[in-house]
Structure 1
């Protein structure tokens, strides 16, 4: 049924906007995805009680994990931010203008949804999450498949990682150290929620965001790293989507009370998470503000020849 509706929508868009589609076939993709974004917004509004009966059957029978707090906020992000991005990109095509930067930001947000939402659904549905070993290996296999990277093996003891695992992974897997214990219980208990989204998201941060920040620091020191402006936009979209969903779900009514952020910790929680979300956007702004720093420098012999000429 969904494929039939999307097919009819594509035919309608093609008949109404042939010129735009001939100029750039992505116009049809953005128009169709804008429709799906509206559906996501309807799902979020229904789950929060603002609407009744529109997509209730779908959320109960098709994708029940959308009824979790994290799923609701992902739907909000898709229904608002993605929808505006699709309209902006389709409008740019209609005016025959470039939309590359918008597309890179959307790409990062879309990829983050795949990296967190899909494995989170699988883990939350088929695993009890009482065994952190299962969480580690399922997530590791997912990251291995998407990046082709080699993930170091870790020593497991009594269902917990010890020794070599970084801070984020320690926190989400109940590391026994005092600092992790205090943080996860007093400031961000949502990381202990049985739904798999926060755990998978922290692991994605460790495997993806942490290496990128190291490379970005290098690119900000040494000129000529032409790859940074594009990747900064991609990571800005990814971190923006992830932090929006994480922060919203941490205080949503669908999250059990014991896993919500304590009222006396709201200020610390908001400041820390907002700074983490703002950092990649400031980096992207820096790259767009002065792109000349990241352009490849011509060979010295070519520069000398131009000066002589």
Structure 2
């Protein structure tokens, strides 16, 4: 039954969204626990998280392998000729390109801070996002995920938005990865933002503090942007019949 459901567009994209969310959360959970200040307290029971990480990964790979069959079904079901993009669609694409550039630069900016590079030693941004200094390992791993996975996606998305009209069949993979990214971004920013709002009283940590009230609006706004815009972009790419632009 599950296999039949994932052959439909809605459930396929929903499952990819779920995979992105689960994989991101478990990488941060296991990786952060291993490299953080409490890594020496890890017990063998931590390995129980491995199956929860492997199942979404295996399911994701199976969905990617079934992409060709899914595309053929979509082509058969959508025989109407494609329309030229409207002026508003082009404006939206330009807006998303600007966002991707911003997200890419902002991710690099935060990577330099979380790695505590000498050039950022006296940076003002630590006052806006002190959670970066948390030694639990979770913010470090999350921002490194941005470095190794999100930044390549931003770069790829910019290329797709610019060159898709010229060679659309070259980007058949893009709707799938867009949904994976949307799920990962939603989960990442939800856990990252809410973790940075409060310093848990049960686990005292003098290395950081919650977001100051004076900087709350800017910090929450930036992190919310990184969570919300990928959802709109996923709808822009995969909603309705827009995915036909890539098949």
1:219 is paired with a residue of what secondary structure?
A: helix
Cα deviation for residue 222 of structure 1 reads 1.7
Query: Are 1:209 and 2:153 an aligned pair?
Result: no
> C-alpha deviations, 1:75-122, integer Å up to 9, x for none?
xxxxxxxxxxxxxxxxx68xx995111101000001101221111111
Cα deviation for residue 294 of structure 1 reads 1.5
Query: Are 1:171 and 2:113 an aligned pair?
Result: yes
- 8 Å CA contact 2:28, 2:142 repeated in 1: yes
Once the two structures are superposed, the pairs formed by residues 67-146 of structure 1 within 5 Å of their partners are 99-124=11-36, 125-126=38-39
Distance 2:138 2:118 in 1: 21
> C-alpha deviations, 1:224-265, integer Å up to 9, x for none?
111111100000000110100011000124174742111111
- 8 Å CA contact 2:128, 2:211 repeated in 1: yes
2:124 is paired with a residue of what secondary structure?
A: helix
2:145 is paired with a residue of what secondary structure?
A: helix
Cα deviation for residue 167 of structure 1 reads 2.8
Task: Quickly say closer, same or farther: Cα 1:181–1:189, change in 2 above 3 A.
Answer: same
Query: Are 1:24 and 2:2 an aligned pair?
Result: yes
Aligned to 1:195: 136
TM-score (normalizing by structure 1): 0.50
Cα deviation for residue 126 of structure 1 reads 2.5
Task: Quickly say closer, same or farther: Cα 1:127–1:279, change in 2 above 3 A.
Answer: farther
Aligned to 1:244: 190
* Matched length: 170
- Max radius of gyration: which structure? 1
Cα deviation for residue 180 of structure 1 reads 6.4
Distance 2:190 2:144 in 1: 17
TM-score (normalizing by structure 2): 0.62
Task: Quickly say closer, same or farther: Cα 1:231–1:171, change in 2 above 3 A.
Answer: same
Distance 2:10 2:152 in 1: 30
Task: Quickly say closer, same or farther: Cα 1:171–1:98, change in 2 above 3 A.
Answer: closer
Q: Which of 266, 269, 273 is the equivalent residue of 2:219? A: 269
| Structure 2 unmatched runs, 5+ | 42-56, 58-107
Distance 1:242 1:249 in 2: 11
1:177 is paired with a residue of what secondary structure?
A: helix
Once the two structures are superposed, the pairs formed by residues 2-13 of structure 1 within 5 Å of their partners are none
Aligned to 2:123: 181
Distance 2:3 2:226 in 1: 36
Considering only aligned residues, what root-mean-square deviation do their CA atoms show, in Å?
2.8
Runs of 4+ more than 6 Å apart: none
Task: Quickly say closer, same or farther: Cα 1:293–1:267, change in 2 above 3 A.
Answer: same
